[in-house]
Amino acid sequence: MSARLEAVNLSCGYDGHPVFKGVDFSVRSGEVCALIGPNGSGKTTLLHALDRLVRPMEGEVRLDGVSIWNCGPREVAARVALAPQRAATAIWPLTVRETIQLARAPHRGWLASYTSEDVKVVMQAMERFGLVGLAGRSMATLSGGEVRRVLLARALAQAPAVLLLDEPLTYLDLHYQAEILTLVRKLSREEGIAVVLTLHDLALAALCADRAVLLANGRICGRGPPADILTPEFLRPVYGEDLEVIRHPGNGVPIVLPRARVR
């Protein structure tokens, strides 16, 4: 299922105070777009706006040319899935399997029985994220990394055309970071899912994304291929002068580091 999600002159905020203004960008099937920027720049708010969780102050979010606020929440949820930073379900009396099963509600409703297709999709999601052995465990007993994998599996079980990932690598060790980055690329390339993710690690953004959008000071400060955006020209005005950009000797990916100091 192909999709195009776009923000058009989008301004969002809370209690009348804008977090960002005039944001324009889009992502389509088969693309991975990384939202980067310092803490407080509005990356999570932007993801929430893309998922119909924050109503715009100005502008709109369009899914295949139609404002998502002209669609019902269930209609949007059937096509757009968000894996948030934090899990409210971690304090609910739910098991891992039950938590992931919640993702099937947009397709079957809240009261209908689970179909064989629902069971298959949930099992596949658990298998992809190494959760089969934890299926019966309570969410309250999981580590931070395990909760993160459950949130990602739940988003995938939603069978979306657009996947929104808020800091998907938080709490994960290098093994799972590599697996999830590989999976993100596979979902985009082989299954045609449009992916938007936020990342603090700029080198990892460069590894997995087709395009990067640099958000700071309430606006977009740069957009384009990561190799073009992850440069001192774009990054120093946002993160400060005290950084260096070097290239990985093996794959040429830009790596952003603080300048070494001798004290």
The answer as to whether 245 is a domain residue is: no
Query: Both 119 and 10 in a single domain?
Result: no
- The predicted pLDDT at position 263 comes to 60
pLDDT tens figures, 143-189: 888 988 999 999 999 999 999 999 999 888 998 899 899 999 999 99
DSSP for 180-225, please give it.
HHHHHHHHHHHH--EEEEE-S-HHHHHHH-SEEEEEETTEEEEEE-
| Residue 55, domain member (yes or no) | yes
Mean pLDDT of 228-237: 94
> Domain with 24 in it: what CATH number?
3.40.50.300
Rounded distance, CA 96 to CA 6, Å? Answer: 32
The pLDDT of residue 89: 53
Taking a C-beta distance cutoff of 8 angstroms, is the pair 57, 13 a contact?
yes
Q: What angle do CA 222, 69, 25 make, to 5 degrees?
A: 15
Tell me which DSSP letter residue 95 carries: B
Q: Tell me which residue range forms the domain holding 70.
A: 1-79+160-238
Residue whose entry in the numeric block shows the structure tokens 């079957």: 108
Task: Give the pTM.
Answer: 0.91
Q: Are residues 35 and 155 in the same domain?
A: no
Angular region, 150: left φ>0, alpha ψ -120 to 50, beta rest: alpha
Number of domains in the chain: 2
154 and 165 housed in the same domain: no
